[in-house]
Structure 1
Amino acid sequence: MDVTATGSDVPPMIRLSGVGKTYEDGTVAVHELDLEVAAGELVVLVGPSGCGKSTTLKMINRLIEPTTGTIEIDGQDVTRSDPVQLRRGIGYVIQQVGLFPHQSIETNVMTVPLLYGESKATARDRAHTLMNLVGLEPATYAGRYPHQLSGGQRQRVGVARALAADPPVLLMDEPFGAVDPVVRVRLQDEFLRLQQELGKTVVLVTHDIDEAVKMGDRVAVFAAGGRLAQYATPAELLARPADEVVSDFVGSTSGLRRLSVTPLALEHLEPMDGVSAGDLGAAIDLDSTLEQALAVMLRDDRPMVGVKDGARFVGVLTPLGVHQALRASLAE
């Protein structure tokens, strides 16, 4: 299995070659890791506690120095770079957020542009733009302090601050882990919207396989001893776990998770013959997933759901169509 493939001929934005980390007591945190992340790709590192995923993330920006191997960002070996300058050019978001408690939200977001020598006016404009982008109205929040914000709001500020220098690479270590489940889902959705708009190269660490499947373009599953067990798209990971370790980690509900990553296809729809729009509940878009389709069927208590491509109905999806789509995706 080629775990370093980027899926295109374009050179990767991030390349780890033979990267390892062994501590003085002999503990192997990461073992000979080869990993490539394409420009604009969101890759999730997932696995049980102590498997080396956070260590890997911190080696990319040299918060932890690798013992062996090379790490390149946009073709440059970061182990030969000044670590302070390197970190200023990489966005970094952590679970605890790490905001400066005695500085306003506006000043927190302005920090890195000011370090780069931007004028206060330019840095403030950038901060306000980013605050709007993450859903924090500057007129309301710019003058507030971290303790005056909810956990979810502080996490948004952390994302805004990480984006303030417009970095090509964004590293995120359990960024949504410190908030309640409802807020977590909302933050995940908001970040996916941001990523679609900004197209950053993102490496995100989580221990939650559901979050990994939802967020990642590709998912790297780590096993004990810092070994890369599998590197694949969410759909491939759920359909074909590489070994028992991956299968156990993905768990017995992988079939349900697969619904969330399997898109609709025209060949799995039935024609609208004899079916009027009035016979259907709410319609879904052709780019929806099977999970979204089933959710609408259950909510509307209907045996089918209409599917649109733009404003035009292109067919209906029934439970049989869902079954056929799942079988087809497993056979790919």
Structure 2
Amino acid sequence: MIKLTGVGKTYADGTVAVRELDLDVATGEMVVLVGPSGCGKSTTLKMINRLIEPTAGRIEIDGRDVTSSDPVELRRGIGYVIQQIGLFPHQRIIENAMAVPLLLGESKRTARERAAELLTMVGLDPEQHGHRFPHQLSGGQRQRVGVARALAADPPVLLMDEPFGAVDPIVRVRLQEEFRRLQRDLGKTVVMVTHDIDEAVLMGDRVAVFAEGGRLAQYGTPAELLARPADDFVADFVGAEKGLRRLSVVSLSEEHLEPLGMVKGGELGAAIDLDSTLEQALAAMLRDDRSTIGVKSGARFVGVLTPAGVHAALRSALRDATGSESPDLR
């Protein structure tokens, strides 16, 4: 869906913001650009929709070179969400969500219906919130409106620049989880910028780590990134907690569970779903003060997760990520 080939950005004073970047984003994939301040990740995002013009290379969306497109028409087909949200303060929430469909020539009735549908989709009641102004909503609610407005024209591509950075940690986690669910349901192609490696690992199907000077240091799945950093910079950026972060990217599998018969009835506590991560499984164990936990798939009870199963799941995921028969679990 999106392909960057040899893309660079050098400013008139000689500052190199992005250096010979090759990057591809598959249809329906969520790619997160992460790195320290000033490494070129936001510049890269803005070059995709030509808010910043590249000085070298080629950027394609669905096989079409974006530099040959009218920039205004290009941006109308790309959803864009920023940290500051950018809602129109003098317009009500429903009017903010209607803005893009009206701009594209939809009737007021169709635009209002679309806006109400999207507000509901992001967890806001149109009847309760639609008549309010942006200053009457919380930061998390305004961010939801920003997402709804970006989706209003049903764009195939969504660009997000630090979209959850301005809300408190609890709301941020909730927004991250809800957007990930929304992205899976809608199948949008998403490129997102963050400076937070935990957010990148949680949200991305693949993660691009940028180093200072606009250099792409590593590009791969979260599991690959955590299992085998490409260089010392990536290892330092991922941090000493990489072993713990792996827990958040490894899902349970029936092959790592023990049979139900090994645990006496009543000793398991509440069961977790098979699509849970190891992090969620361990959190449930700690919450119930148990060394094992039951696992279900829908209404079917499928097995019991033990500490040995956690270890086996980690080893299996690391083998998949590194191709090594003896992966380093540290």
Q: TM-score range by the shorter chain?
A: over 0.9
Instruction: Tell me the secondary structure at the aligned position of residue 286 of structure 2.
Output: helix
Distance in 1 of aligned mates of 2:304 and 2:293: 5
Distance in 2 of aligned mates of 1:101 and 1:286: 44
- Larger displacement relative to structure 2 (54-63 or 279-288): 279-288
Residue 9 of structure 1 corresponds to which residue in structure 2? none
Aligned residue type for 2:135? H
Given the alignment of the two structures, is residue 191 of structure 1 paired with residue 179 of structure 2, yes or no? yes
| Aligned residue runs from structure 1 range 1-332, under 5 A | 13-332=1-320
Distance in 2 of aligned mates of 1:304 and 1:197: 32
Distance in 2 of aligned mates of 1:287 and 1:108: 36
Residues 1:274 and 1:31: Cα distance change in structure 2 (over 3 Å): closer
1:232: Cα distance to partner?
Answer: 0.5
TM-score, scaled to structure 2: 0.95
Distance in 2 of aligned mates of 1:286 and 1:125: 37
1:277: Cα distance to partner?
Answer: 4.1
1:331: Cα distance to partner?
Answer: 2.5
Instruction: Tell me the secondary structure at the aligned position of residue 36 of structure 2.
Output: coil
Distance in 1 of aligned mates of 2:234 and 2:138: 36
Distance in 2 of aligned mates of 1:290 and 1:183: 22
1:286: Cα distance to partner?
Answer: 1.8
Distance in 1 of aligned mates of 2:52 and 2:111: 30
Distance in 2 of aligned mates of 1:260 and 1:159: 25
1:292: Cα distance to partner?
Answer: 1.1
TM-score, scaled to structure 1: 0.95
RMSD (Å), alpha carbons: 1.0
Aligned residue type for 2:239? G
Aligned residue type for 2:191? V
Distance in 1 of aligned mates of 2:29 and 2:212: 25
Residue 6 of structure 1 corresponds to which residue in structure 2? none
1:303: Cα distance to partner?
Answer: 1.4
1:314: Cα distance to partner?
Answer: 2.0
Aligned residue type for 2:141? Q
Instruction: Tell me the secondary structure at the aligned position of residue 278 of structure 1.
Output: coil
- Larger displacement relative to structure 2 (233-242 or 265-274): 265-274
Instruction: Tell me the secondary structure at the aligned position of residue 252 of structure 1.
Output: coil
Cα deviation digits, residues 211-260 of structure 1 (max 9, x gap): 00000000000011111111101111101111111100000000000001
- Larger displacement relative to structure 2 (307-316 or 232-241): 307-316
Cα deviation digits, residues 179-216 of structure 1 (max 9, x gap): 11111111111111111111100000000000000000
1:328: Cα distance to partner?
Answer: 2.4
Distance in 2 of aligned mates of 1:312 and 1:191: 28
Aligned residue type for 1:71? I
1:274: Cα distance to partner?
Answer: 4.2
- Larger displacement relative to structure 2 (307-316 or 61-70): 307-316
Q: How many residues align?
A: 320
Aligned residue type for 2:7? V
Distance in 2 of aligned mates of 1:187 and 1:263: 21
Distance in 2 of aligned mates of 1:277 and 1:224: 56
Distance in 2 of aligned mates of 1:47 and 1:302: 38
Cα deviation digits, residues 153-180 of structure 1 (max 9, x gap): 1100100000000000000000000011
Residue 10 of structure 1 corresponds to which residue in structure 2? none
Instruction: Tell me the secondary structure at the aligned position of residue 279 of structure 1.
Output: coil
Distance in 2 of aligned mates of 1:270 and 1:51: 46
Point out where structure 2 has 5 or more consecutive residues left out of the alignment. 321-330
Aligned residue type for 2:302? V
